[in-house]
């Protein structure tokens, strides 16, 4: 027997319509590429999303068509998220840090009809020039006064919107309709597209808003440093308006000092981003002697947050919440907020738990398996490959049957490529990406573990541990360090630091210094590039 309740399809534009009705005071503060600060309420963004939908329709965009963006975090990018999905088209966000080759590949693979770019990225598309599809329409996210001279045929965003009506008759879409597309950065092979639906996006927004409610509440000012151009800015453009929180969009300036000034001026209550960004902000807080006024919480994810960083913020009175996820998971899968009883634990134990990736979100199932696919115990010790299942997780990749077939196991779970433990409280601890683990004499060494501890040294600015081939052990760890200050750390002193937490056989065999670590397009250390850099490296006792 079915229940007797109305059923309305979950729809992305409904989030903004709701925010515009229910949270009239909330909205967006954006640092614009034009150089000034811009403010608009969610109600205004809703109206402008309507104008955009009319304009795109005139450009020939219809249901299922792809409208791409290469843009920073700002109100126009936000309007595109809603206007495009709302009219039944697909918002395809492109990461500007991808190589030209990868960018052209995904523009072609996605079959984009329109590409909207920030002023900053006009030179980038000019460089792509004649390699861009001939029919691709190019829109610059600015007003007439700031339109650049260009050899390309460029349309002006504000000119497109200006004549249009603010009311749009949004179509009622099947909730499974595709709404947004984001490609993984593809460290190996071509990038693969995660194609989100209205249903998956709205469910993700609701769960994120409920679970991360300490950050996302009415009246909060949330700073997404995590980009709208990758992994949907962790769902913030959807979850914040749903919760009634305002978004403070930082634009292109993401250094510690610029973020600090913006946070203080705009009373930012929580900030979301990857650990490298927070290292910059923490250094700025140390220089200025106090955190920005009213700043309460750092959400950190994308790669593991070192414990020293977590402790640094916590000592300054700022709550740190770790989150884990991936492009294929919309993206948030777990969060590290401590449960009520955990808040009574000793400070040290709380910090240990905070360096874990934490508990699952509602609707996300986790399992760890051994090499034969057998599920392993959630006892905090058994380590295996992590699989996930749920309504916000991809069932395959866009127009890529080969990659889709490999992604999902026989029972319908998605293989994350991460290796993890899960403890009896359900706390997930990511040990490594499977391909970054160091396999030494039949045992595994977690590069993340070693890196997190080494980051606690005052003489280390950044570090990475990679596997080096070894004739006896198969692989052994090499520690690569970017030194901080005048005096370089020694291997002995770092061993001593490590020995407080890891076994002797896990200690790195050698230490090398570099000026900087290579980064991926999503700002993570590129272990692949680093391994190439140290190809053929000989460890001291390698014979």
Catalytic residues, by residue number, are: 184, 328, 439, 444
Binding mask 423-442 for ligand ADP (x = CB under 6 A): -------x--x---------
Q: Considering the rule CB under 6 A, would residue 416 count as an interface residue with ligand ADP?
A: yes
Q: Closest distance between ligand ADP and the C-beta of residue 300, in Å?
A: 7
Candidates 26-34, 104-112, 325-333, 462-470; binding stretch for ligand ADP (CB under 6 A): 325-333
| Distance from C-alpha of 466 to C-alpha of 509, rounded to nearest angstrom | 11
Neighbours of 437 (CB within 10 A): 18
The one among 89, 262, 263, 326 contacting ligand ADP by CB under 6 A: 326
Residue 182: name the closest of 236, 145, 232, 146 by CA: 232
Total residues at the site for ligand ADP (CB under 6 A)?
Answer: 23
Q: Closest distance between ligand ADP and the C-beta of residue 325, in Å?
A: 6
The one among 55, 161, 304, 510 contacting ligand ADP by CB under 6 A: 304
Q: Considering the rule CB under 6 A, would residue 446 count as an interface residue with ligand ADP?
A: no
Binding mask 229-248 for ligand ADP (x = CB under 6 A): --x-----------------
| Distance from C-alpha of 77 to C-alpha of 96, rounded to nearest angstrom | 14
Residue closer to ligand ADP, measured from CB, 71 or 300: 300
Candidates 127-135, 319-327, 466-474, 510-518; binding stretch for ligand ADP (CB under 6 A): 319-327
Residue 27: name the closest of 249, 205, 260 by CA: 249
> Exposure of 86 by Cβ count < 10 A (0-12 exposed, 13-18 middle, 19+ buried)?
buried
Q: Considering the rule CB under 6 A, would residue 303 count as an interface residue with ligand ADP?
A: yes
**Sites for ligand ADP among residues 118-147 (CB under 6 A):** none
Q: Is 396 left (phi over 0), alpha (psi -120 to 50) or beta?
A: left
Q: Considering the rule CB under 6 A, would residue 322 count as an interface residue with ligand ADP?
A: yes
| Distance from C-alpha of 226 to C-alpha of 274, rounded to nearest angstrom | 7
Residue closer to ligand ADP, measured from CB, 93 or 197: 93
Q: Closest distance between ligand ADP and the C-beta of residue 370, in Å?
A: 19
Q: Closest distance between ligand ADP and the C-beta of residue 358, in Å?
A: 8
| E strand or H helix at 55 | helix 42-58
Residue closer to ligand ADP, measured from CB, 33 or 522: 522
Six-digit token string for 512? 């090398």
Q: Closest distance between ligand ADP and the C-beta of residue 235, in Å?
A: 13
Output DSSP code: residue 375: B
Six-digit token string for 471? 């004739």
Residue closer to ligand ADP, measured from CB, 246 or 447: 447
Residue closer to ligand ADP, measured from CB, 304 or 368: 304
The one among 327, 330, 392, 429 contacting ligand ADP by CB under 6 A: 327
**Euclidean distance between the first and the last CA atom of the chain, given in angstroms as a whole number:** 73
The dihedral built from the CA positions of residue 481, 484, 486 and 489, taken in this order, carries a sign that is negative
| Distance from C-alpha of 292 to C-alpha of 248, rounded to nearest angstrom | 14
Six-digit token string for 337? 């907020």
| Distance from C-alpha of 392 to C-alpha of 540, rounded to nearest angstrom | 47
Residue 252 sits at the vertex; the CA angle it makes with 302 and 320, to the nearest 5 degrees, is 35
Residues that bind ligand ADP (CB under 6 A): 184-185, 231, 301-304, 322-327, 331, 357, 416-418, 430, 433, 520, 522, 524
């Amino acid at each position: 027997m079915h229940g007797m309740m109305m059923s309305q399809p979950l729809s992305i534009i409904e989030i903004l319509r709701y925010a515009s009705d229910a949270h009239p005071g909330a909205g967006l503060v954006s640092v614009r590429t034009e150089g000034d600060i811009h403010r608009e309420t969610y109600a205004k963004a809703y109206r402008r999303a309507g104008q955009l939908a009319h304009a795109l329709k005139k450009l020939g965009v219809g249901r299922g068509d792809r409208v791409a963006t290469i843009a920073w975090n700002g109100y126009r990018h936000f309007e595109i998220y809603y206007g495009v999905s709302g009219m039944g088209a697909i918002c395809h966000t492109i990461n500007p840090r991808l190589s030209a080759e990868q960018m052209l590949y995904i523009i072609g693979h996605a079959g984009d009809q329109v590409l909207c770019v920030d002023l900053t990225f006009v030179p980038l598309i000019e460089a792509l020039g004649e390699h861009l599809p001939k029919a691709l329409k190019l829109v610059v996210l600015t007003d007439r006064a700031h339109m650049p001279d260009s050899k390309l045929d460029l349309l002006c965003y504000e000119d497109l919107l200006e004549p249009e009506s603010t009311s749009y008759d949004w179509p009622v879409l099947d909730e499974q309709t595709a709404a947004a597309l984001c490609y993984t950065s593809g460290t190996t092979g071509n990038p693969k597209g995660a194609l989100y639906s209205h249903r998956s996006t709205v469910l993700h927004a609701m769960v994120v808003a409920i679970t991360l409610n300490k950050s996302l509440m009415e009246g909060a000012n949330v700073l997404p440093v995590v980009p709208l151009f990758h992994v949907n800015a962790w769902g913030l453009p959807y979850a914040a308006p749903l919760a009634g929180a305002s978004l403070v969009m930082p634009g292109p300036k993401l250094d510690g000092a610029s973020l600090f000034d913006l946070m203080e001026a705009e009373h930012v209550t929580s900030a979301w981003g990857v650990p490298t960004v927070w290292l910059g902000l923490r250094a700025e807080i140390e220089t200025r002697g106090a955190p920005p006024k009213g700043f309460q919480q750092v959400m950190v994810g994308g790669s593991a947050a070192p414990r020293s960083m977590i402790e640094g913020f916590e000592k300054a009175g700022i709550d740190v919440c770790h989150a884990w996820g991936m492009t294929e998971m919309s993206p948030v899968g777990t969060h590290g907020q401590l449960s009520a009883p955990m808040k009574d634990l000793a400070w040290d134990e709380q910090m240990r738990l905070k360096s874990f990736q934490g508990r699952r979100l509602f609707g996300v199932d986790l399992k760890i398996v051994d090499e034969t696919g057998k599920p392993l115990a959630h006892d905090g010790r058994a380590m295996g490959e992590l699989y996930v299942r749920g309504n916000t997780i991809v069932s395959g990749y866009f127009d890529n049957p080969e990659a889709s077939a490999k992604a999902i196991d026989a029972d319908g779970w998605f293989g994350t490529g991460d290796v993890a433990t899960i403890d009896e409280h359900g706390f997930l601890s990511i040990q490594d990406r499977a391909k970054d683990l160091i396999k030494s004499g039949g045992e595994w060494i977690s590069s993340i573990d070693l890196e997190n501890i080494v980051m606690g040294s005052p003489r280390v600015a950044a570090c990475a541990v990679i596997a080096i081939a070894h004739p006896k052990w198969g692989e052994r760890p090499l520690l690569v360090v970017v030194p901080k200050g005048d005096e370089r750390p020694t291997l002995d002193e770092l061993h001593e630091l490590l020995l407080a937490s890891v076994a002797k056989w896990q200690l790195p065999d050698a230490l090398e210094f570099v000026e900087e670590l290579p980064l991926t397009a999503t700002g993570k250390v590129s272990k692949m590039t680093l391994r190439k850099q140290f190809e053929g490296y000989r460890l001291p006792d390698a014979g």
